[in-house]
Amino acid sequence: MIKPTITDVFFDLDHTLWDFHSNSLETLAELYVLFNLEERAPKFGSDHFITRYVFHNERMWEMYRQDRMSKSRLRKARFEYALRDMRIEDKKLAKDIGNAYLDICPCKTKLNEGAIEVLEALKDKFQMHILSNGFHETQIIKLEQSKLMPFFNEIITSEKAAAKKPNKRVYEYAQVQTGALPHESIMIGDNLAIDVVGAANFGWDAIHYNINDEKHEYKSVKSLLEIPDLLLK
């Protein structure tokens, strides 16, 4: 059961509302053409470039979440390593591609199915906020370009909180910014360990956007469209 005292709903952004997977893949395919990577590395196709980037980006984000890599290093190194896997040793090219990625990708507007519908259903009943580990300026662009900004009262990122989910300091910061108490707060996100367990450990309610049908004890939905029924009972 969802606590009847909920007043504030905190959404993760990437992979939850904003379709990070589709928007990122579309951007990477454009960059492959834009920077003539087929000519620079004719033995490797766009699929190889994208696969290697995704691999390095995911492992470096995990290092960033663990405070083992800086924001600036992550942004540069993920493309350096992807190009290296295509036998391209060119740090300037990697930097240029990285900057272009940051210019293009946040402006993509594909949302996960049901994102607008769930926000419309909840907007008059709850205070809604973003709680994200993403880079602050990038998340702001995504929200503005995707026309999501008007739904949210506070945009809370790990950079502003000086801590990353699931660290309890993120939730403490969120409560200070919103005035919501633990029994009034619920977190909705796609990552079980980062979004759901972290919030639950701090005394918040939580819903796992569980598209991969992971087995666990927490409340979960496979579609965002299921969320209003849980919160508005």
Tens-digit pLDDT profile for residues 65-101: 999 999 999 999 999 999 999 999 999 999 999 999 9
- The answer to whether position 2 is within a domain reads no
The answer on pLDDT for 106 being more than 80 is yes
The answer on pLDDT for 3 being more than 90 is no
121 and 178, same structural domain? yes
Average pLDDT over the chain, rounded to an integer: 96
Whole-angstrom Cα distance, residue 49 to residue 38?
10
116 and 221, same structural domain? yes
Q: Are 189 and 195 in contact (CB under 8 A)?
A: yes
For residue 37, what is the domain's CATH number? 1.10.150.240
pLDDT for the residue 78: 97
User: Which residue in 131, 74, 128, 134 sits closest to 98, CA to CA?
Assistant: 74
Last residue of one domain, picked from the residues 107, 128, 163? 107
pLDDT for the residue 2: 82
- The answer to whether position 28 is within a domain reads yes
Q: Are 221 and 115 in contact (CB under 8 A)?
A: no
- The answer to whether position 97 is within a domain reads yes
For 189, the domain range is 8-18+111-231
pTM, entire model: 0.94
69 and 151, same structural domain? no
Q: Are 184 and 8 in contact (CB under 8 A)?
A: yes
Domain total for the chain? 2
Whole-angstrom Cα distance, residue 11 to residue 199?
11
Q: How far is CA 122 from the centre of its chain?
A: 21
210 and 101, same structural domain? no
Last residue of one domain, picked from the residues 51, 75, 107? 107
